[in-house]
Amino acid sequence: MSLTVMKFGGTSVGSAERIRQAASIVQRHAQQGDQVVVVVSALSKVTDLILSVLNSARLGNGEVMEEGLRQLSERHEQVVSELFQGHTRKAVSADAQATLNHMRDFCAALKLLGSATPQVMDMVLPLGEKMSAHIFAACLNELGAKGTFVDSARIVATDDKFGDAAPDMEATSRQCREILLPLLQQGQIPVVMGYSGATAGGQVTTLGRGGSDYSGTIVGAAMDAHEVWIWTDVDGVLTADPRVCPDAVTLPEVTFAEAIELSYYGAKVIHRKAIWPTMDRGIPVWIKNSFKPEVPGTKIVESLPESPHPVKAVTAVTQASLVTLTTRRDVHFAEIFGRLFLRLGHEHVDVLFSTQSSSENSLGLVLREPDTEQVVRAIQRLFRTELKHGILNPVTVHRDIAVIAVLGSGMKGYCGILGRLFSVVARNNVSVIAVAQGASELNICFAVTNSRVDDVVRAVHQEFLGAEAAN
Ligand code: ADP
Ligand code: ASP
Ligand code: MG
């Protein structure tokens, strides 16, 4: 009997109708004799709302906090009342209300304290998943399947980097087997809260925003599942974000390496760390549309035959910045830059790309905007002496830029891509702020001003992936 882990994103459980549809996808699959473990996100927009409730609580804004709590209650009550009746309705509703009361108590405490550490935030942020997983399990029961709620804190073991935790796969595998296997053997369908886990000491952690995809692949890898299916609101991985390029098309297959690059450079359809656990074990991942379950979707696999089309997709990370560091010319800059990269590693900062020019003794780091302050502070602390004595020039920060990535394993050894790419950018009258081609030749990244990012993505997509280019 094969095991499939199915993860449903926020829009796939965004309303009573969507939850019923998602649960029936699971029930039909289970009926065919397969074992299924479900991983769910919170109802769409619920985590944003919880975050805003938490922020208003710690800033002492009681009215906004109360309004947010009221909306959370109304949203879940609405879904519960549309899905269930009688005793089930009472039980599921009581469950959601208990979670919301817990949230309210927390918020009252935060309001008094006037602050919240990432650890405290992580105790509340996954409560949306707690409610959706309970509702989903009950909905499976209504359909005649045996859904069972599973708290992620009992199975997903992580480190203590609150807000962006990483899994301990050994402990997670042990816990998943101990808790999920007996349920599966009894014919149950475990419904696991996405997005969160817990440290060895039992403190709740979250895996970063959009982290339920990561939960899905962590559980899939821990259970050595046959496949992981990520159900979302688009037909699979597309050649570009369909909100920016309406003519983007679905890619039937991409490799693990391509999927990692795509998600790292902004394709929101997969969390940027989600591919790692399954790639290590060679478990295929499917991205599927829960609105159109009959469409096959995109299969993410270990390797693919060479494609005649060098470029597979265009993605973008908006809100980035370029931090530039220059040293005096008589200094051995590699030692200085080496120390900096070591520090960034310790602080778990991901650099989108970097450029180094030895003639100018300068290093450019292109970072996600939320990481910028942390990096500038780290540079100022680490190189206090060098900055004071002019060995390093003052750090410069260029904000409001975006990084565009052109991706595809077929670009390796293919002539003329860079020429075509930058001709398109120039024709759109946009100047390139920084550029890097990955040594693996899997991607070309470049930075442009944020205000022109969509125009450039559309133009580059048209050049390499538009109807004409595809023929
Ligand atoms: P979920 O709630 O199911 O996790 P997300 O909103 O996180 O869904 O991710 C799906 C969204 O990702 C799509 O609606 C689409 O707008 C966006 N997206 C960005 N880039 C891509 C891409 N290359 N392929 C598919 N979707 C993309
Ligand atoms: N609910 C979480 C978020 O919105 C996790 C997820 O949906 O993947 O970030
Ligand atoms: Mg998502």
CB atoms within 10 A of CB 74: 10
pLDDT in tens, 43-74: 999 999 999 999 999 999 999 999 999 999 99
Rounded to two decimals, the pTM is 0.94
> What distance in angstroms lies between residue 303's CA and the mean position of ligand 2's atoms?
29
Which DSSP state fits 250?
B
Which has the closest alpha carbon to 421: 337, 314, 279?
314
pLDDT at 360: 65
> What distance in angstroms lies between residue 234's CA and the mean position of ligand 1's atoms?
7
pLDDT in tens, 393-413: 999 999 999 999 999 988 888
For 320, left (φ over 0), alpha (ψ -120 to 50), or beta? beta
List phi, psi (to 5°) of 366: -95, 120
Q: Inter-axis angle of helices 127-142 and 62-83, to 10 degrees? A: 10
Supply 339's token pair. 């120390």
pLDDT at 335: 85
pLDDT at 470: 59
Give the dihedral of Cα atoms 136, 140, 141, 143; nearest 10 deg: 140
Residue with tokens 């010319």: 329
Q: Which atom of ligand 1 is nearest to the CA of 230?
A: 3
Are the C-beta atoms of residues 51 and 45 closer than 8 Å to each other? no
Cα 422 to Cα 103, 126, 215, 401, 459: the distances in Å are: 51, 43, 38, 17, 11
CB of 210 closer than 6 A to ligand 1? Answer: yes
d(CA 166, CA 61): 33
The strand ranges marked E within 213-369 are 227-232, 253-255, 285-289, 298-301, 313-326, 351-357, 362-368
> What distance in angstroms lies between residue 459's CA and the mean position of ligand 1's atoms?
20
CATH class of 3-233: alpha beta
pLDDT at 361: 85
> β-pairing, 443-449 with 434-437?
antiparallel
d(CA 456, CA 471): 22
Is residue 138 packed enough to be buried (19+ CB in 10 Å), middle (13-18) or exposed (0-12)? Answer: buried
pLDDT tens per residue across all 471 residues of the chain: 799 999 999 999 999 999 999 999 999 999 999 999 999 999 999 999 999 999 999 999 999 999 999 999 999 999 999 999 999 999 999 999 999 999 999 999 999 999 899 999 999 999 999 999 999 999 999 999 999 999 999 999 999 999 999 999 999 999 999 999 999 999 999 999 999 999 999 999 999 999 999 999 999 999 999 999 999 999 999 999 999 999 999 999 999 999 999 999 999 999 989 999 999 899 999 999 999 999 999 999 999 988 878 899 999 999 999 999 998 877 788 888 889 999 999 988 999 999 987 766 889 999 999 999 999 999 999 999 999 999 999 999 999 999 999 999 888 888 889 999 999 999 999 999 999 987 777 899 999 999 999 999 999 999 999 877 755
Domain boundaries, the chain: 3-233, 313-470
> What distance in angstroms lies between residue 453's CA and the mean position of ligand 2's atoms?
25
> What distance in angstroms lies between residue 12's CA and the mean position of ligand 1's atoms?
12
CB of 233 closer than 6 A to ligand 1? Answer: yes
* Alpha carbons within 13 A on the beta-carbon side of 70: 6
d(CA 217, CA 227): 9
- Measured in whole angstroms, how far is the alpha carbon of residue 420 from the centre of its chain? 31
pLDDT at 471: 57
> β-pairing, 147-150 with 3-8?
unpaired
Over its C-alpha atoms, the chain yields an Rg (Å, rounded) of 24
Residue nearest to atom 11 of ligand 1 (CA): 269
Superfamily of domain 313-470, CATH level 4: VC0802-like (3.30.2130.10)
pLDDT at 314: 98
d(CA 106, CA 4): 36
Residue nearest to atom 6 of ligand 2 (CA): 210
CB of 243 closer than 6 A to ligand 1? Answer: yes
pLDDT at 384: 95
